[in-house]
Structure formats: structure tokens, C-alpha cells
Amino acid sequence: MRLEPGREHLQSVSTIFDADPKTALKHHFGFDAFRPLQEAIVGDVLAGRDVFALLPTGGGKSLCFQLPAVMRPGLTVVVSPLIALMKDQVDALNAAGVPATFLNSTLDADAARERLRGLHAGAYRLLYLAPERLALGSVVRDLEQWNVVRFAIDEAHCISEWGHDFRPDYRRLAELRRAFPSVPILALTATATDRVRRDIVTSLQLRDPARYVGSFNRPNLTYQVLPKAQTFRQLLAFIKARSRESGIVYAASRRQVDTLAEKLRDAGIAALPYHAGLGSSERAYNQERFVRDDARVICATVAFGMGIDKPNVRYVVHYDLPKNLESYYQETGRAGRDGLPAECVLYFSAGDTAKQLGFIDEKAGRERELALEGLHAMREYAETGECRRAVLLRHFGEMLAPGACAGCDNCLAPRARVDGTLAAQKFLSTVVRVRQSGGFAVGFNHLADILVGRMTDKVRSWNHDVLTTFGIGKDVARTDWLAIGRELVRLGLLRQTSGQRSVLELTDDGRRALLERQRVMLSIAPAAPAPAAQAEEPGLDVDLFEELRALRKRLADARDVPAYVIFPDTTLRAMARDVPRNAAELRRIPGVGDKKLADYGEAFLAALAQHAARENEAPGA
């Protein structure tokens, strides 16, 4: 059973009040240098300013409020949307010697009372709360007695109705400014368009906030889109090639999630499902097993992921098309949070769009229009021949320098381009003939049916079987016509409407291309296999790294915490590369703070020494 921090921890923290931030960073968290923007954000937080900070997943948002919390007296209240995030961060803080706690519905009455006593006694530096809990008048009254020195609003995009993950309870956080007018607020997110950023600042009533927007680029992530063809076999081969690594597989439906998890288990993969249809206890159990490396793969709907702190997810696979680029960015962002190489793979077919349209049809008005816009952008990403990283960043208003990617399939293996003038002429002519025959426009699917000569009910009822272009594309597969049509949209020769009934219309450029028979070049997507796993870094002793991972797992299980709470993979890899021989050398390893050195240094130094002794005894050593 894990012990709650008490006053002995409070005293150890109080000795570094007003310390230099870099000294405090090494002392508690074991790092010698800040990540981009962290130091400036910490400085403004310590100065008592309101702050808005957008940092990419893995960019170190949490440190921006955790470090100030140990450098000044008082309580930092962290508003977090998911219980799992609270528990994981409190575990990690306690392991680093920082007194932190949470209050939520998972605690029984005795545990809640014990933590409340500690809060009244000033025994904690950080308190994690869900936004719903702040709606309780008793909690606000308690906060008034606990010397709150700042509020940190994590996942702040949840407050915006323009965001992809709006939560009504977040809207009520505006009441914090009225209840605590002099307490500064720090708002943090990893995913927000410019409109959402403005909405966050306005909704939280931030006063002249310092604004920080980091790059959305995650250079350690590789992006790839593969055409669906015997997709489960593709997935199984991909996972088996990464037999020692953790990964997430996202699917569109609960049924698909259950099926994938079962088929992976039948194939010998330790996989578990996660979706809203499972009971809360089963979801929590499955998530815990994944976070603690007892299950290698979690198969999930979008219900899984926000606030998952597991840093060593080496791949995220989308078995189906996500609903929009914001969701895709956030979901793929769960890979490689430790900064080490990770892979993001999307399996795509034109039929995936129809699945998402089925969900969108349940919406109405502006919500439906926004959903359609999001789906169109997602589909364009899936089908583009352009650099995928550039497309993704451009969606968030960031431009990528040409040639700066080297980490997506289109840059690593550029698509072949072919003369598609004849195909373009056929498609564009069909759009014109449909408009001339009935005075209305139609969508992708109906146009493809005309081109391949399919006698559907709509073709028959609208007399489109008598058009001169009916059946002129029989030599091309219907799915290929759909892809050609979408590329003509990307090239600006066609425009797709986003209203209640999405149809295709010729643009001025498309009309000129048709009349002047301009040459049209189309890109052909290669049916490439999934990329090979990343090569190991030079100087890394892989066998030693695996031994250190096994030791970490034993220590973590004994303390009832996730393995990364002991040390992240980056720290173990540095140990396996540099092989420290004593406490002073071990302390120089990134991620080894003073508390962890005291708690775990002896065990890891012994393992390192034993490995070195075996290496020296080996023949030929």
C-alpha cells in the first residue's frame, strides 16, 4: 500500500524555496535543462501572471505548474478532466518527493477525510481536482482556507465549444476568477486552433496573460497511411514486428474494438479492449494493466487516451479513419511522449468516410457542418501526396519548412505522378453532364456509379444512364474513381460543398482545364509495407536496457505504481549507454533526481555492476 506524503516531505521541499529554477529542476525531477518554452513559462508563473500555454504532447506541460509548486509556499490546484491522469501524476510526484494528492470519487470516506486533514494542515503542494468537483460549494469554501496560490487548468481546450473535446463542466471554471480574483490562472493544452485559443483566454477571464505557443511538430513521430487490404493481417504483422513495445490501436466502434482485442489475444498478443460500453471497473482495470506494461496493446475507441501519462507508447495505429485532424493529432500524440522514436499508422479506405458520415448524420445545424468540414480535412490528409507533417501542422496554423520532415511516408517514399488528363476529362465531363441534364449536382459516389456504368436506383430514376459519360470509365475500379475525384478537389478543379447534402461542382480552374484540355498530373499512392522498427541508437547496450526494464518493473510492482514512475525509458537507455559506476555518475543521468537516487540508486547501480561483471567474464572480453 502506498503511503501518503506527510510533513517530512513538506520540510524537505521547503528547503529550496526561492532556489534557482534549474537547481530545483535537477533536485526534484533529475533534469539539467528545460524543454522549449518551459523556463519562460515557469518564470511567469512564479511572477504571479496569468498564463496561456500551448505545448505539444510530450512537451512538458505538467512541469510548468509542478516546478513552481515546489519553489514557493502555498497550494497549486490542478483541474484535470480524468481520474487516471490525477492518479498517475500524483504517483509520479510522490516518487519524486513532492507532496501531492487528489480528491475524487474513487476515494472511500476514510481516505477522503485523511486527505482533507492533510490539506487543512498544509501538508501538500499540489491538489488535483476534476472540474465537476469545483461545482460543489463545500470544495470552494475549503479552497478559501487552503492558501491556494494558483490554479492550473489542464486540457484547457475542453472549455471551448469550438474544440474537438468540449466539456460543459469546464465552462463553469470561469467562476474561479470571481471566487478567487487575486489568484493567477495557468491554462494549458496540447491541441487548439487559433479560434480555440482565443476562446480559452476569454472563457477563463485571463488578465493580460503571457501567451506561449510551442510548435505542433513532433519530430520523433513518423506518419504513414496504408491502404486497407486484409487489414487485420497487416496489423498483426506490424505488432509482431514490435514484440517488446507498447502500442494503442484505435477503432471506430465498440464491436470492432472487442473483435480486434480478441483476435490479437488469439494470436498470442497481450491485448485488452477499452470503450464506454465496458463497466467502469473493467475499463479502469484494463487501463491500469496497459499503463503498467502488463498488457502490451490496448484496443480502444476515442473514449481512451486523454490524460494517459504513459510515456513509452511506441506506436499508435488507427484501424479506422478519425473524425477530424484535431482528434487525429491528439490521438497520435500519445505515442512517443518520452521523445524517443514512435510510429503513427493509419489504415484507410474510401469506405471509412461512409462510416463517419453515418455518425455525422445524427447531428444537425452548425454542429453537422463543422463535423463535415473536419471529416473532409481528415480525408484529404489520408489521401494527399504532400508531406503529411506539413498538412497536419498547416491545419493548426504552422508552416513547415520544405524538406524539414523526413518522417512521413510521402517524404520517405514520394508518390509516382502520372498523366491523368484523360481520367480528369472523363470525371469533369460527368459533373457537367449531370448538371446539364437535371439542373442539380451530385456527390462522389453517384459520379463514380455513372462512370463505371452501375445501374443504381438513383441512376435509373434520374435517367443518368442515358448520359454520354455513362460507363465510359468501366476500365477503372470504382474506388479508383473516388480517389481520382478527391484528388481533383485537392487540385482545385472541383469544389465539394459542405451543406446538408455534399455535392461536387466545377471551379473556374476546372472549367478551363476541361475546355482547354489542360494536362492534369495525378499522384499514385504506393502500396508500401509498414516501416521497419527504428534502429537502436549507437552505444546502447540493448540487453542491459532490457535487464534494467525488468528491474524497474519489479520495483514498480512492489510499490504499486506504473513502471515509468520509477524511471522513464529515456533514463534507462541513458544508463544502458553510459553505464554509471557510482552515485555521482548516476545522478548525472537525465531523470535521476535526489529523491529517486536515494530510493532506487542502490538497486540500479547493483544491476549495472552485475552486468559489467558478466561482460568482463565473457570469453573474448
Residue 323 lies in domain: 221-414
For residue 535, is it within any domain? no
For residue 265, is it within any domain? yes
**Are 173 and 298 in a shared domain?**
no
Cα–Cα distance measured from residue 260 to residue 254, given in angstroms and rounded to the nearest whole number:
10
Domain at 559, CATH number: 1.10.150.80
Output the nine-digit C-alpha cell for 384: 494527399
Q: Is the pLDDT of residue 84 over 70?
A: no
Q: Lowest mean pLDDT of 85-89, 328-332, 349-353, 575-579, name the range.
A: 349-353
Q: What proportion of the chain, given as a percentage, has pLDDT over 70?
A: 91
Cα–Cα distance measured from residue 518 to residue 421, given in angstroms and rounded to the nearest whole number:
7
**Are 432 and 407 in a shared domain?**
no
Domain at 428, CATH number: 1.10.10.10
Give the end-to-end CA distance of the chain in Å, rounded to a whole number.
44
**pLDDT tens digits, one per residue of 38-58:** 999 999 999 999 999 999 877
Cα–Cα distance measured from residue 165 to residue 81, given in angstroms and rounded to the nearest whole number:
11
For residue 452, the Cα-to-chain-centroid distance in whole angstroms is 40
For residue 463, is it within any domain? yes
Residue 531: band (very low, low, confident or very high) from pLDDT cuts 50, 70, 90: very low
Q: Is the pLDDT of residue 532 over 70?
A: no
Domain final residue, candidates 213, 248, 269: 213
**Are 193 and 249 in a shared domain?**
no
Q: Lowest mean pLDDT of 270-279, 355-364, 499-508, name the range.
A: 355-364
Residue 498: band (very low, low, confident or very high) from pLDDT cuts 50, 70, 90: low
**Are 63 and 192 in a shared domain?**
yes
For residue 368, is it within any domain? yes
Q: Lowest mean pLDDT of 142-146, 200-204, 354-358, name the range.
A: 354-358
Closest CA to 254 of 282, 277, 284: 277
Closest CA to 127 of 159, 160, 99: 99
**Are 403 and 436 in a shared domain?**
no
**Are 191 and 264 in a shared domain?**
no
**Are 546 and 515 in a shared domain?**
no
| pLDDT at position 547 | 95
| pLDDT at position 526 | 56
Domain at 55, CATH number: 3.40.50.300
**Are 275 and 164 in a shared domain?**
no
Domain final residue, candidates 494, 524, 554: 524
| pLDDT at position 303 | 67
Amino acid at 24: A
**Are 41 and 86 in a shared domain?**
yes
In this prediction, residues 108-129 reach a mean pLDDT of 91
For residue 2, is it within any domain? no
For residue 499, is it within any domain? yes
Q: How many CB atoms lie within 10 A of CB 261?
A: 24
Buried/exposed 596-620: b ≥16 CB within 10 Å, e otherwise: bbebbbeebbebbeebeeeeeeeee
Output the nine-digit C-alpha cell for 474: 468501366
**Are 201 and 228 in a shared domain?**
no
Q: Residues 6 or more apart from 450 whose CB is under 8 A from it?
A: 430, 434, 459, 464, 467, 469, 470, 471
Buried/exposed 395-415: b ≥16 CB within 10 Å, e otherwise: bbeeebeeeebebbbbbeeee
**pLDDT tens digits, one per residue of 195-242:** 889 999 998 999 999 999 998 899 999 999 988 878 999 999 999 999
Residue 188: band (very low, low, confident or very high) from pLDDT cuts 50, 70, 90: very high
Domain final residue, candidates 479, 498, 524: 524
Buried/exposed 343-365: b ≥16 CB within 10 Å, e otherwise: bbbbbbbbebbebbeeebeeeee
| Count of the separate structural domains present in the chain | 4
**Are 204 and 295 in a shared domain?**
no
Mean pLDDT of the residues in the chain: 87
Q: Is the pLDDT of residue 59 over 80?
A: no
Output the nine-digit C-alpha cell for 251: 477503432
**Are 103 and 174 in a shared domain?**
yes
Residue 486: band (very low, low, confident or very high) from pLDDT cuts 50, 70, 90: confident
| pLDDT at position 105 | 79
